[in-house]
Structure 1
């Protein structure tokens, strides 16, 4: 695996068992069966922790479920790192419960004795690998959503942390950072009557996902390229549209938001 990893999980455990767990989570066949180079690697650390790193953009987000599952097996926290977003999303999981951590991924990995491979600054990450996350939420207005997000944060939100805009299609949620985190999930969970469309895409839209959320759960996912082994319910269209550009138009989300214009 030579590409720069987009996601990682830092965890205790036996490296061989960890590899089997990740294969099951990603629903991958063994190398002997499919003849393909795996899109992840398990790197043994110098102490208790080891690093699981992945390069496939289609698997971004799987690190959360992997870390959550592994945290149920160990007394020590398990960490997930999403390096495809700006800024990176770092989370710790203890007994299946996640919390966002305000720490750099490189410093965290080194402190645990399992430094990440091919360290580089985020500004060096190719633009085509920088995924951005925005959402449309139907059934909630900006003022109500702001209150929900502030309650979830537990403190006043910094200016620019979220950009909320009421539109004819619904509430648009974006962020100056390019990543709204769990805003779409949190709002849909707190307002079960609302339907959220969380869009994660690359600047060229060649990587394009839409998660349809209701009650905090994903009830359907549109994926381009298709995720053959996804456990989420698959949909082939959003609002009657099948092409990323037209899907964004139907949701009222400007394509320029993904190009950082």
Structure 2
């Protein structure tokens, strides 16, 4: 794997076993037989912790489920790093329980004896800018969402989020293009709501939607499409299967992602 990593997991464990676990989580068991290289790499650390890094944008979000599952098998915390936005976001998982951290990911990795590949941007022009993320949450109003995030200890300062009540639901965005884990947190705190986390590039050639309920991703829509996602793939969102029409169905302006 020689592309710029978009996500990472820092975890104790034996590297060969970790590779098998991640292959199973990403449903990549048959790739070697077809001559396809993995979309992730296990980088052995200097101690108990090792780094798992992934470069496929279709796997963005995989770090949460991988870290959550691995944390149930060890006594130490397992860390997930989202590198698709700037600043990077870090979460800690203990026995399946999430905590959002305000730490520098490179300093954290170094303290654990792990190496994270450099953060230089790839030459591909479609990837030069960070992906942007916005969420649409059904069955909740702005005041309730703000209170739920505050109660969960959300790391962003007051005023970071822009909450907009729309006919489709509550739209959650920010001027930085990063809503962090707001969609996951709201679906965990309010298990009856349905949340859609939309991640896209400026020209929408990379476009992903995670459908969440009860803190779990119950469906993943991806363009370019793939059939080896770690969560169930869906062919459409609200009956639509093109980025522009999906965004319209969710009440999210396509122009919001065009952050030139």
TM-score normalized by structure 1? 0.88
Partner SS, residue 92 of structure 1? strand
Partner of 2:135: 135
Shift of 1:32: 4.1
Within 5 Å, give how 1:1-261 maps onto structure 2: 1-29=1-29, 32-120=32-120, 128=127, 130-153=130-153, 158-260=157-259
In 2, Cα distance between the equivalents of 1:54 and 1:231?
13
In 1, Cα distance between the equivalents of 2:141 and 2:119?
41
In 1, Cα distance between the equivalents of 2:194 and 2:71?
30
In 2, Cα distance between the equivalents of 1:112 and 1:187?
30
Structural RMSD (CA): 2.5
Confirm or deny: 8 A CA contact 1:212 1:219 kept in the other structure: yes
Confirm or deny: 8 A CA contact 2:39 2:56 kept in the other structure: yes
In 2, Cα distance between the equivalents of 1:90 and 1:41?
19
For residues 6 and 100 of structure 1, do their structure 2 counterparts lie closer, same or farther at Cα, with a shift above 3 Å needed? same
Confirm or deny: 8 A CA contact 1:160 1:176 kept in the other structure: no
In 2, Cα distance between the equivalents of 1:125 and 1:74?
38
In 1, Cα distance between the equivalents of 2:82 and 2:13?
21
Shift of 1:54: 1.1
For residues 220 and 5 of structure 1, do their structure 2 counterparts lie closer, same or farther at Cα, with a shift above 3 Å needed? closer
For residues 170 and 119 of structure 1, do their structure 2 counterparts lie closer, same or farther at Cα, with a shift above 3 Å needed? closer
* Structure 2 stretches lacking a partner, 5+ long: none
Shift of 1:197: 2.1
Partner SS, residue 11 of structure 1? strand
Confirm or deny: 8 A CA contact 2:100 2:154 kept in the other structure: no
TM-score normalized by structure 2? 0.88
* Structure 1 stretches lacking a partner, 5+ long: none
In 2, Cα distance between the equivalents of 1:77 and 1:190?
22
How many residue pairs get aligned? The number is: 259
